[in-house]
Structure formats: structure tokens, C-alpha cells
Amino acid sequence: MPDGSGLPEKSVKTACPYCGVGCGVRMAMQSDMSWKANGDENHPSNFGRLCSKGSALGETLDLKGRLLDPVLDGKNVEWPVALDAAADRLSAIRKEHGPDAIAVYLSGQLLTEDYYVANKFMKGFVGSANVDTNSRLCMSSSVAGHKKAFGADTVPGAYEDLDRADLVILTGSNAAWCHPVLFQRIQKARAERGMRLVVIDPRETETSKEADLHLPIAPGKDTLLFSALLKALSQSGALDQQYVETHTLGYATALARAVELAPSMDRVCEETRLRLPDVKTFIRWFIETEKVVTCYSQGVNQSAQGTDKVNAILNCHLATNRIGREGMGPFSLTGQPNAMGGREVGGLANQLAAHMEFQPESVDRVRRFWNAPHIATTPGLKAIDLFDAIDRGEIKALWVMGTNPAVSLPDADRVRRAMKKLELLIVSENMASTDSMDNAHIRLPAAAWGEKAGTVTNSERRISRQRSFLSLPGRVKPDWWAVSQVAQRMGYAEAFSYASPAEIFREHAELSGFENAGSRDFDISAYASCSDQAYEALDPFQWPAPGGLIRTHGECSTQTHRFFAEGKFYTPSGKANFIAPARPELSVDLSVTYPLLLNTGRIRDQWHTMTRSGKSPRLGRHKEEPFLDINTADARKFHLTQGELATVESPHGQAVLRVNLTDAQTPGDVFAPIHWTGQNASAGRIGALLASHVDPFSGQPEAKAAPVSVKPFQAAFYGFVMSTASLDMTNCAYWAKVQLQDTIGYRFALTSYNGKGANKWMSDLLGVSGTELIQSTDKSNGVFRAAHLIDDRLQAVAYLSPQNDLPSWSWLETLFAKDKLEVLDRRYILAGRSIDGAQDPGPTVCACYGVGRNTLIDAICKKGLITTQALGEQLKAGTNCGSCLPELRSLIGGHDKTAKAKAS
Amino acid sequence: MVEDKPKLVVVGNGMASVRFLEELMARAHGYDITVVGQEPEPAYNRVLLSSCLAGDIEKEDMQLRGREWYHAQKIDLKTGETVTSFDPEIRTLTLASGASLPYDQLVIATGSRPICLPLPGAELEGVVTFRDLKDLAVLHTVKAGAPVVVIGGGLLGLEAAAGLAGHGADVTVVHLMDKLMERQLDAPAAKLLKTSLEEKNINVELLAQSDYLRAAPGTDKVEALVLKDGRALPAALVIMAVGIQPNCDLAKAAGLTVDRGIEVNDQMQTSMPGIYAVGECAQHRGTCYGLVEPAYQQVKVLAAHLTNKAASYGGTYLATNLKVNSVSVFSAGQFEETAQTEAVSYTDPKAGTYRKLLIEREALVGAVLIGDTQDGIWYRNLIQSGEKISSMRTDLIFGETLANLKGDRGEQNA
């Protein structure tokens, strides 16, 4: 808060709540008391850079839609009432059905301290390891691959390696959109040092467009490519025979399998759909380049053979000893801000705590440390199995924290149905309404980013503080407090008497070093006795940080730590394992009924289910609706038209998505984003389309290759509404919602308007009588439009047409910002465009400065601004976070006449 | 040689007549021209009578051409003269003065006269029509606040009502039908117009049948209009404005083919050679127009024809433009939906705006506008041209500026 000088000068260093890059953020209070996010120049993960999402954090802090009170059986109650009910009901279920009738489902968005307490509560005191997390959907194949090869879930390298490498391979990663700041770092190194970039991805993405070599691999065939690579490495000088012999096991078997899988280059090309010269170039570059980093993300992990893919990659780095050395190594890019922290505390069903599993000595060690006689002794159920057990009625009670399984799990409709069977559903949430809360018996208002305090770990093992800069609104409490309170009420007062996150962190750090002595990779016991002040001031640090190294604030090590350059793996033998992967095959083949393969992923400006990023109008305008990317030829084949709607079906469910024709999509493959939920679209939950086929080692479900069918959605009418008030859209066969500057925008489609006249239908939708509306009606053409004003101020507009030819939102948005409409504004509202010649800026490309596609095309074509620098100088586009630079380049490429002429 | 010039006589000196003369003067015509007008003054702009009554303009502002113009153009202008008959056989007119006037070509532009309802008491003092300067002089005598009744809620009646209201009278419009301007407006437009008039203190009585006019006791001066339902509407003055009737008695007597008006072809020729009719007295393709614009188009064709230029009049789409105390009304072409038409409408009740366009076979065939009428002429032209409007159909209702604006109308999604 202001210090009384009248000048707001509060600035708080924290960490971004979005992806696994883990950028440092400086939140600064502005003179109007709003908050602005800036990159923290001193944070070693981003050095001041932020992406479009991070830059817009200040726009996401309002309390709209927040859960602010505990709710018990549909009624707002005081905390003690809710906590008593939770404790009593959990105890009763445990008493009647045993501890395994209880489960908790956690999230990579939780802070380490929250995670630690929840894990300790379940595994140590409830006595069940039914603790899983949405990281199962995100990173668990990397975890399994790491453990199989290294004996521990260890990320060997650091971001610095991306600065120092001579070749970076991104596989299954659209880093330009999903890890934008890291991608900028790669781009910087390329510009400065000529580093090469190879992108392996079935899709053409904003990442692949920037690459020196794009390998548009057939979905699921990564293992073949890396087997061909291993085979070639074995016959090249790049093989480090001595390292292999000294520090690894299983090389011969793995190589034999690689030879078997990749008998010839032709076979590899045929199966991977790749061109022979491209594969040869890739292999040659890898052999020639010692400093090579292979980054992999969800394209590798979210697969029924994800662990094998990870191991096929690790094999190549182990064979060449390109691991744990500067500028080299395999590198898992985590999706969530604290997936790593969750793994560290053991928040997965097959982990116990602090990188320990369920070996008797580990169980015994943790039992003694926690003083938990009833500690779980065997692994619990992984996410998919866990929800199956709920469906079967074996799990009676579920506590969900900070995640939305009814959207994000595969076969999501079934998950939703299964959750209705629970005797007790507790949901700890920021938001008052999510798809997973429909049937919640107890809703606990959880502190959100900016309100809660603790630590997170990013992809490079760097632990940073998330600090609070907002007071707790309503009755909101941090999750660690809520869990501790329930635990205390269940009789575990002593073990859960925490007063602060610092106290939890110290215990977590102490456990990491407890009877460790170098036997476990995760050790931060140097912080086991850090003071509250030191915790408050904690600078970002990379683990390991074993005890004995006295670390206090200001003296922490800045030296980069890497693993495995000299072997010392965490397997019983101390040697790494080469793994022979299975033949890559899709879990379900295409069929006549389901002839297309659905790939899924993130988009640049949204995060997960949009509860935070969806609040920012800037971010919303990049992609306003759930969409389907489909190749032009496929669209023709299945009668889909650009901008119209498609019904996408799988054996498990259905979605209705806006069609986007793009030759970035290979024929036969389609792509849909994961972000839409039942809260912001009628049928945008992509999880509903996915089967729950899981990886045999990690239990991670396949999310990148679901056979689907597509057909046109038979819309009788297309429409949109912009309204200052939230509207009930359930009468629309299709709808999707997006937050705009002063209004909420809804796009919708109808199959009919239920027999009523369209004018009546519209006035019902807007909740205003027809005589209060400005209306235009072209009944024969089915074109209906309406606007609602109160005292010359615009409240809502609605447009309906049988054609998908609705006006742009851009000008209308400016009308909602006016206190009083001018005569000409009023006259043309229903036309949806102004006559003053102001150009429609089009969909947002640069989210930071709100620069639209049409504005940019105009600048390229008419003003001849044909470099990103020129566009930046004139329009500021791309000059802040840089996330849109690839899109700017492709716009220049597509619209500059001289560039076109050169290309042809 | 002067005597050898063919003689052209124009009967009538109204707006059509003077415009015809202007058109002719703009050409090399070679006629010896005489104009006979019944009113004492040379032709003036009758359309402005209501504005003059309301005090918006002066009487002088209504004048079209002064006597000196006729003189300069060597046109023999006879005002205050009445033609009593003419004989097509010998091509000679007879004037009320007894003089005869030979002609080679005769143009009848006698206009029309207000219909007087045959109500008991119609002859009383203070029961007038509103057609000419003589009527204006009577109406000017009305005192501010005096009750005045206008019979007729059509264009004429509303114009008179507007003029009187502007002059300060307490005006009531009495209309037989259930809506105002039923020949130009559909129900929503008429309703909105009524509301707007009432907001401007012009009372409107619909479905009101006049019974008789009552004289003030012991006088022959009108005191009230009594309706069939028994109500008496006090009136210091009653204006009958229920319609006009073409002046074609003269033509009829001469044996020309006359229906409602004098029948003419596309060159404005009557049934007899050398005789033409233009303006409100003429009936072209079954239509008698009561507006000045068709007359102007007709005289242009006639002037061309009489100077041996091929020209043809194909009719005018009816367009009504009315401004009543800042309430604008526009109507052109069809105004009621039929099985063949498609309607596009726009309503902004709070702004008093209503627009309806009728489309038939992809062409505009009718437009009704209340409140904001600035695009009326554009619509009228579209109706008259019959051009296809499909490509701008979505923007059409928002007017010319928008519909002609370049740029994408729609947005591609995603």
C-alpha cells in the first residue's frame, strides 16, 4: 500500500503463475492503484523478459467470479463449520471404507508448501497414497523416463545450456507459444552465435516456422527418429565409448532395438512421413555438433508411449555423453509453474515424498520423520485409475485442489459423471464456478496468485518465491491452512501446527536432506533452518542445495549445477540405463468412422482453463473461440468452411469448434486447443474427445492422437452478443464467451430459435422488452440485430444472421467505452461499423500493445514496413514480450510483395 | 416573319407551367408563347405555403419568376384570366373576357383543386381549403391559441396542420382512417408519426367521421366541427384537406379523353393532336400525381418533344417528403408488404426513428422513413432505377454513406 507520501511505490518480486519457465515478475502498483507486471531483471530464468500472458497479469486480479466464502452443501458458511464437516465426513468414510476410499487430486498450480502439506496429510496421516495431480497429464512420462534412465527424476541441465548450445532440438514443443521467454532466449542465442534450431512437430507452428529445419513427423513416431539417430551415432565418432562403458548399462540391447526399429532410412522416412534429406540433415547436425540440447514437452509426454519417447531421447544423449555438460543435455520443458515442486514433495501417487518412493526403507524413513505410524506403504492410484475407481464407487471421497479434472482429464464426460457418484467432493478453488464443482459438497475459497505465498520450482530446478502483494479477499485462505485445519480436526494437531509457509518450507527442506548423504538428487537441506526473514527475502536458487553449505540471503550460490557429467546416477548401480523402447504405434488406429487424428495443445495467450488469463481482454482477442485447425484439402473432403462451425466427434464425446483452414496442418491431422470449458463454451471441452489410453510406465494419458470425425455443424443462424452483463446462453446450440474491454462477448449459433420470432428471441436473450431496443430486421434473409441503451449508454448489442457474415467487434467495443453515444454512433450501431473510415484492426496479434492483424497487414502492404524492426518502431508490435515475432514474420512473408516475388 | 411562328398556348400558370416555360426557354424553340393564369399573381411555389403560414419564410420567398422574366422571354403572360372553353377543331381558346386565342400547340397545366366535403355547413365562413395565396391570407388571420380543425390526415392535411401549429394555432387533425397518411405509410410508421405529432402539440383524432359544421349562434361563422359520434370540436377555422381533384372540366368539355385526369401518353400528348397536358391535371399510365416532382419530369419531356427531340416519360415512383415541425416523413414506392415483397426494417423508438424498405426480386420497391429521412432520395433513386441491391442488402437500411463505404462488411473468424 502507499506509504503516505501519496505516491504508490509498492513493488513486489514474485514468480509468474503460468508455464514452467518460471519467470521472475515485479508487480508494481500504479498511480491509479492498479498493478502492472514487469519482468524481474535479476531473475536468472528470464532476466526481465515476460511473455504476453505474463505482461497482462495486472489485468487478471479482479475478484469477478471468485469464490469468497466456504460453501457447505450449497450454503455459505463460516470456515469452522466447513472444516468440521470436511474432517467429520472424511473420518467417517475412512472408518467405514478404509483410507483408500479417500483421494486427493492436486495441481501444478499449487505452491510447494501447499503441496507438501496435502501430500503429508494424505500419505502420512489419512494413510493412503491416492494422491495424484494434474502433473500426471503433463510431465509424468518425463518423470518415468528420468527415473528409468537416471534412477531419479532429475533434470540434468539448466537454461544457461540453451545460451551455450550450438544445436537446439525442440521436439513436441511449440515453445514460441507455450514457453515464449525460453524461446526468445533461444532466438537470441541464434542471432548472436548462429546456433541451429531443429523443430520436430507434426504441425507447422510459430516455433517451426523459425527453425533451420522442421521435421513434420507423423504423430507418435518420435521414437523411430531417435532410434535412427542412435543407430547412426553408434557408427559415428560422436559415440562416447568410454562414458557408455563406465557410466551406463543396457547400451547393446537398446542399440539392437534401435536397429530393429530403424532397419533402413527409407523405412524410417516412410513411417515418420519425413523426407530423407531432412532426416539425414538432422542426423548429420546431431553427430557434428557436440553442444546439443534436446528440449521436449507435451508432444512427447502426452502419449501412450511417452516414457519410451523420453528414453529414446535420453539414449542419444547418454551415448554421446552430452549430458550435464555446458550447452548439452536432454531438457524436459515443464508445462506448469510448479509441476517440478509437486514432484519434489512427492505429489504423485507413485512417489512418497522428497524424491523417495515406496521402498520399505524410504517408507520407514519418512514415517519416522513425520512421526506418522499409519503412513501409506504402497503406491496409490494414478489419475486415470483414480477416476476409474471413483466411477466404480471404490473411492468415496475426493478433495480437488486448484485444478479442473472434469475438463482436463481424457474422457472428460465420463469423469464428470463419475464425480457425481462421490459421497464427498471437496473442492478448494479460486473460482466460484468451474466444471468440476457442479456437485461439490464442500467448496473452500483458496488464495489465488498474488494473495498466496510460498515457493515454486521451474523446469531448470530453480526454486523461486511467489510472494503475496494483495490481501486475502473475503474469507479466502491459503490451501496449506485449510488442509492443516482439517488435519488438526481429524486428530493430527501436532503434525499440522504450521503457522506460516516458511515453517513448512523448512520442514520440506529438512526432509530432503534427512538421511540423504548424496543418495537422493533432491536435497535442499541447506535451507532447513532458514529464518522467516531469509525465507521472505529468498533469492531464486537451483537445487541441489545440500546442508552443510551454509546459505543465507545474499550468499546463495549462483553457480549453475548440472547432473551426470561424471555419471553418479541414482540407480542402485550408480549407472544410467539405456532403455529399449517398444515399437511406436498409436493406441487407436484411424477408421472409416474416425478418419482424422486430433492433436491438442495450448495457444499463445491463454492458460489452462482460462480462469485467470481469460480475464484479460488483450489476451482474449488473440483467439476468441475454441477452434479446429484443419488442412484445406481435408476441409473440402468433409465439407467444412472457413469460419463456420464443425462438430468433432470421437467414441467418447463431442465438441463444436470454429473451423480454421490452414496448411500448417498436415492432411489427416487436425488440431484443437485445450483451454475451453463448460464455463466459457457450449462444447469446447477437448478432454471429452480423448480416450483414457495411458502410458504403461507413467500412467500419462494420450492427448495428441485421438481419432475423430468432423462434420459441419448445421447452424441455422450465427450470431454474437456483446453485453455489459453476463447472459444465460443455454438456449444456444453453440456458444463461446470471451472477456472484452468493457463487456463480455458471446459468439453463438442456433439450429432454430425455438418457434418464437427472432426479435422476441433476442429480447429474451438480452432480458429487455422489445420496445426498449433499437432493432433491425430482415426477416426474409434471417438477419436480426438489436441494441440496448440506457440513457444513451450502450448496454448490449446482438446480431443474428443465417450466414456467417457478422460484423467485427472492434468498433463496437469502442462504443461500449463511451459514456454517451454520439448521434452517428447510435445510427450505425446495428450496422456494426463506423463511417469515419476507421479501420477494423482485426484479431490481435501483439497482445502487449493490442496491435491487430489488419493494422499490421496495412503497414506491411501500404507503408512498406517489411521488417519486424520497422513494425516495432512504427506500431510497437513485438517490442515488449516478443511472443508475436514469429507471427509478425509470417505476416510479412505472406503480404510483402517483394518478399513474395523473391520467394517465387 | 414573326406572324409565321407557331403559336403555343399554356393554360394555367402554376409550378408545372413555369417550369415548362423554363425548360422551353433553355432550348431553341421558335414558338410564339402565351400563358393564361387564373390567379392574379404569376406562378409561385405552392409547396411553401405551409412554411409561409408557419412564419418560416416570407411571402416574397415563394415567388418563382417575376413578370419581368416573362417579358424578357417574350412570353405573353395573362394573369387573372380564365379560359372558359376551347375548340380543338379550329384550335382556338375562348377566355372569360370573351376574347379568343388561337393556338397551334396547346399545353394544359391547370393543376388541381382541393376536394370540398359536402358537409352541412361547408359554406360557412371560416371553412376553407389550403391551396393558394388567397387561402393563406385567410389562415393568416387565425389568432395564437385559437382552435383550428384540419379535416384530413394525409399529406395536405398534415402540412396545413404543421403550418397552423407553427403559426400558433391549437390544431386538431381529424382523420377518417385508422392511421395517418394511409396512402404513404404502414401502420408502425403512421403510429410513430402520430406520437411525434402529439409530442409537438398537434392533436390527432383517428377514425373520426365528420358530421356537420356548426355555426356560432346567430352568425354564419363556423364554431365547431361536429363528429358522427356526437363530439363537437371547437374551431375558429376549419380547413378541408382531404385530397385534390384534377382540373379537367375544360378538357372534358372539349372532348379530350378524361378519366380522373386528362389521359396522356409518354410524350404527354392527350387524345387529340397538338394538345398536351402536364402536372396534376394529367393522368399518365393511370396515375394522377399530386406532387411537384413528376410534373417537373413531365414538362422536361414535353419541352423536348415540342422542340423535336425524342423524349419519353415513364412515370415517377411516388415519393413523399414531409417535414412537420421537425418530424420528417418520407415514403416512396410501395409501403405495404405483399406476398412478393421482403421487408427490412429498423426501429429506434426512443430516437423516433423508423425505416422500412421493401424488396422485390432483389430490387428496392418501397421505402418508408420516419424521423431520420436523409437517405430518402437515395432510396427513391434505387427504386426508380430498379437496380439489384443484393450485394449491399445488409447495409441498405443504414443508408447511402455506409452502403457505399469500401471495406469488408464481415469478419473472418479465428
Q: Which residues contact A6 (CB under 8 A, 6 or more apart)?
A: none
CATH topology of domain B2-113+244-306: FAD/NAD(P)-binding domain (3.50.50)
Q: How confident is the model at residue B150 (pLDDT cuts 50, 70, 90)?
A: very high
Nearest residue of B to residue A845 by CA position? B414
DSSP one-letter code for A217 = P
Q: Is the pLDDT of residue A273 over 50?
A: yes
Consecutive H or E run containing A645 = strand A645-649
Question: d(Cα A343, Cα A456) in Å, to the nearest integer?
Answer: 11
> Which is nearest to A268 in space by CA: A317, A215, A315, A306?
A215
Which residues of chain B are in CATH 3.50.50.60 domains?
2-113+244-306, 127-240
Is A596-712 CATH 1.10.10.60? no
User: What's the confidence (pLDDT) of residue B410?
Assistant: 41
More confident residue, A887 or A245: A245
Task: Name the class of domain A844-903.
Answer: mainly alpha
Chain B CB contacts of A808 below 8 Å: 408, 411
d(CA B323, CA B344) in angstroms, rounded, equals 23
DSSP A273-340: T--HHHHHHHHHHHHH-SSEEEEE-HHHHSSTTHHHHHHHHHHHHHHTT-SSSTT-EEEE--SSTTHH
How confident is the model over A797-807, as pLDDT tens digits? Answer: 999 998 888 88
Short-list A769, A813, A762, CA closest to A790: A769
pLDDT in tens, A139-176: 899 999 999 999 999 999 999 999 999 999 999 999 99
A329 CB contacts (<8 Å, ≥6 apart)?
A: A156, A157, A161, A293, A294, A317, A322, A323, A562
Q: Which of A723-732, A871-880, B4-13, B365-374 has the lowest mean pLDDT?
A: A871-880
Q: How far is the C-alpha of A104 from the C-alpha of A605, rounded, in Å?
A: 30
Instruction: Count Cα atoms within 13 angstroms, Cβ side, for A30.
Output: 8
Would you call B359 an interface residue with chain A, using a CB distance cutoff of 8 Å?
Answer: yes
pLDDT tens digit string along A753-770?
Answer: 655 688 888 888 899 988
Q: What is the pLDDT at residue B408?
A: 47
Q: Which CATH code fits B319-403?
A: 3.30.390.30
Give the confidence band of B394 by pLDDT, cuts at 50, 70, 90: confident
| Burial (CB count <10 Å: 0-12, 13-18, 19+), residue B217 | exposed
Which of A774, A805, A828 shows the shortest C-beta gap to B410? A805
Minimum distance, in Å, between the CA of residue B189 and any CA atom of chain A:
14
Residue B362, chain A, CB below 8 Å: the answer is no
CATH class for domain A717-831?
alpha beta
Second CATH level (architecture) for the domain A142-332: 3-Layer(aba) Sandwich (3.40)
Q: How far is Cα B111 from Cα B292, in angstroms, rounded to an integer?
A: 10
* Residue-wise pLDDT tens digits, B60-107: 888 899 999 999 999 999 999 999 999 999 999 999 999 999 999 999
CB atoms B346 and A777 under 8 Å: yes
Predicted pLDDT at A436: 94
For the cut 60, the answer to whether the pLDDT of residue B177 exceeds it is yes
pLDDT at A310 over 60: yes
pLDDT at B407 over 90: no
pLDDT, tens digit, 9 for 90 and up, residues A43-65: 999 999 999 999 999 999 999 99
Q: Which of A777, A783, A633 is nearest to A710 (CA)?
A: A633
Per the CB < 8 A criterion, the answer to whether A389 and A397 are in contact is no
Q: What is the mean pLDDT of residues A92-96?
A: 97
Q: Extract the C-alpha cell encoding A366.
A: 519418512
Nearest CB partner across the interface for A806, out of B349, B398, B410: B410
Chain-chain contact of B394 with A660 (C-beta, under 8 angstroms): no
This prediction's pTM:
0.83
pLDDT-derived band at B27 (thresholds 50, 70, 90) equals: very high
Spans of all domains in chain A: 11-44, 71-138+338-457+470-500, 142-332, 596-712, 717-831, 844-903
With CA atoms as reference, the chain B residue closest to A791 would be B350
User: How far is residue B223's CA from residue B216's CA, in Å, rounded to a whole number?
Assistant: 5
* pLDDT for A667 beyond 70: yes
Q: How far is it, in rounded angstroms, from Cα A375 to Cα B165? A: 96
Cα Rg, chain B, nearest whole Å: 23
- Is B164 in contact with B253 (CB distance < 8 Å)? no
DSSP assignment, residue A9?
-
pLDDT tens for each residue of A511-527: 999 999 889 999 999 99
Residue B413 sits at the chain A interface (C-beta within 8 Å): yes
pLDDT value of residue B403:
85
The pLDDT, as a whole number, for residue A844 is 78
- A696 vs A119: CA distance, rounded Å: 24
- Examine the pLDDT at A81 and tell me if it is beyond 90: yes
> What share of chain A in percent tops pLDDT 70?
96
Residue B413 reports pLDDT greater than 50: no
pLDDT digits (tens, 9 = 90+) for A464-481: 999 999 999 999 999 999
pLDDT at A618: 84
pLDDT at A5 over 80: no
DSSP, res A763? H
Q: Determine the pLDDT at residue B50.
A: 86
Of B401 and A132, which is predicted with more confidence? A132
Contact residues of A toward B, CB < 8 A: 623-625, 627, 642-643, 658-660, 747, 771-772, 774-781, 783, 789, 801, 804-809, 826-828, 830-831, 833, 835, 837, 839-840, 842-843
The predicted-structure confidence for A331-362, as pLDDT tens digits, reads as follows 999 989 999 999 999 999 999 999 999 999 99
How far is A353 from A356, CA to CA, in rounded Å? 5
- Strand A102-106 to A397-401 pairing: parallel
The single-letter code of the amino acid at B356 is: K
Question: How confident is the model over B319-336, as pLDDT tens digits?
Answer: 787 777 668 899 988 999
Q: Which residue has the cell 464455463?
A: A679
- pLDDT tier at A837, thresholds 50, 70, 90: low
Is B372 at the interface with chain A, CB within 8 A?
yes
CB A60 within 8 A of CB A616: yes
The architecture CATH gives domain B127-240: 3-Layer(bba) Sandwich (3.50)
DSSP conformation class of A431: B
SS3 of A30-86: the string is CCCCCEEEEECCCCCCCCCCCCHHHHCHHHHCCCCCECCCCEECCEECCHHHHHHHH
B286 pLDDT higher than 90: yes
* pLDDT score at A838: 57
Q: Which residue has the cell 387533425?
A: B173
Residues of A in contact with B346 (CB under 8 A): 774-777, 830
Residue A89: pLDDT band (50, 70, 90) is very high
Please report the pLDDT score of residue B414 as a whole number.
31
Q: If you measure CA to CA, which chain B residue comes closest to A823?
A: B351
Note the pLDDT of residue A133. Answer: 95
- Contact criterion met (CB < 8 Å) for B349 and A783: no
What is the C-alpha end-to-end distance of chain A, expressed in Å? 59
Of A714, A654, A659, residue with least CA distance to A689: A654
Class of domain A71-138+338-457+470-500: alpha beta
Where in chain B is CATH 3.30.390.30? 319-403
- How far away is chain A from the Cα of B163, in angstroms, using its nearest Cα? 28
User: B168 is written with which cell numbers?
Assistant: 400558433
Residue whose C-alpha cell is 487430486: A105
Which pLDDT belongs to residue A9? 65
